[in-house]
Homo-oligomer: A and B are copies of this chain.
Amino acid sequence: MVLKDRKLILISNDDGIDARGLQSLIEMVKPFGDIYVVAPEQGQSGMSHSISLLEPLRTKEIQSSENIEIVSVKGTPVDCVKLALNQLLPRKPDLMVSGINHGSNSAISVIYSGTMGAAIESSLYGIPSIGFSVLDHKKTADFSIAVKYGRKVVEDVIKNGLPNQVSLNVNFPVVSEADFKGFKICKQTTGVWKEEFDKRTDPYGGNYYWLTGDFHNFEPENDESDEWALKNNYASIVPIKIDFTEYKTIIELKKRYI
């Protein structure tokens, strides 16, 4: 990589270095600067904010040229970001983008998502960071609307920045361009995944369980929520900051612990 007076953009994802969504994300942000991809060697869906404490990280150089470096890491999405920022990148990046994820990361799914894990981790270091997802798990998912309109989000973040430690969770509906209604700024929808495990027996009599489930929306009518936006053909943008504290409950608990 020859560093010029250009933006440096870090890219990661959770579907792994070979995912089509990653190629689409490179295409999306290429006009804005030099690119450094540090992404997991293999698919890491559902890896959330996990980090490798019991195994060391190994890297593999995939591509090295003037405007783009691509390195794969045997590790999680958050490992990739930590290693990129601490070891691999020539300097602190101006922007970090994650994805494009094959599948939704709206509502509570944000907490299970490796794509958002990577974006959130990057934001903790004061880097404007955006996670992109398309509501289509299939390998053949169409990323064209995400690439075209995602560019507007990138443009806005480069121009106006984001508050310190804030990232964006951007999800695109599966919809034709004619029906696409543009962006809606949203809150994370309240709800929960209800699991139904698929219990099976292996040829040797052992039981095993596949995780399956449906999202239960606790506020389906709330037009400020990301689920509502997506159901109504908007792309949702949820600004995110990590403070797990429930401040209201602090007041109650203080009365009980004197």
The residues of A with any CB-CB pair to B shorter than 8 Å are 43, 45-54, 56-59, 78-79, 82-83, 85-87, 108, 110-112, 114, 117, 120, 124-125, 156, 160, 162-163, 166, 169, 182-188, 190, 192, 195-197, 199-200, 206-211, 237-250, 252-254, 256-257
Contacts and interface: CB of A to CB of B under 8 A. Distances in A.
Given A56-B211, A241-B244, A241-B249, 9 more contacts: A46-B53, A46-B54, A56-B209, A56-B210, A82-B197, A185-B253, A187-B250, A188-B245, A239-B253
10 contacts: A45-B53, A49-B50, A56-B208, A82-B211, A83-B197, A85-B195, A108-B242, A163-B252, A190-B243, A239-B253
A211 B114 CA distance: 18
Nearest to A191: B124
B254 A249 contact: no
B57 A156 contact: no
A242 B111 contact: yes
A239 to B, nearest CB: 4
Closest 10 CB pairs of A and B: A239-B249, A241-B246, A48-B49, A56-B208, A46-B53, A48-B50, A46-B51, A48-B48, A187-B245, A239-B246
B211 A237 contact: no
A190 B211 CA distance: 34
A59 B207 contact: yes
A187 B192 CA distance: 24
Contacts of A45: 53-54
A254 B185 contact: yes
B211 A51 contact: yes
A250 B224 CA distance: 10
Kindly name the residue among A45, A209, A210 whose own CB sees the greatest number of chain B CB atoms within 10 A: A209
Contacts of A51: 46, 48, 112, 211
Contacts of A241: 244, 246, 249
Nearest to A224: B250
A132 B241 CA distance: 24
Contacts of A82: 195, 197, 211
B86 A195 contact: yes
Contacts of A114: 50
Contacts of A211: 51-53, 56-57, 79, 82
